[in-house]
Amino acid sequence: MVKDNNGNEIKYHDVLINEDGVIGFVVSGTNFKGKTTLGVVNSNIGLNDKLETFPDGVWEIVGNLETGKELEEVR
């Protein structure tokens, strides 16, 4: 479980931003061993990493695509 810079758990379909202004989208993926995990992607800049590779506090949740609502309304 990775938390954002406000202590909120980052979840599937969250929209994230970091201090450099990079935007990421949380997706679900399966590795070659069949383990399902969350990842952060942004195809415009080539971002495609496991969420767990980032320490807590790197990202800020700004919304969720599944609900279409901003953070304050989702949490």
**Encoded tokens for 44:** 């415009």
Give the pLDDT confidence of 15-57 residue by residue, as tens digits: 999 999 999 999 999 988 999 999 999 999 999 999 999 999 9
| Contact criterion met (CB below 8 Å) for 39 and 50 | yes
Quick one: pLDDT at residue 67? 79
Of the two residues 69 and 34, the one the predictor is more confident about is 34
Predicted structure pTM score? 0.85
Rounded CA separation 61/34 (Å):
27
**Encoded tokens for 65:** 């695509």
Rounded CA separation 56/66 (Å):
22
Q: Does the structure show a pLDDT above 60 at 72?
A: no
Average pLDDT (56-75) is 79
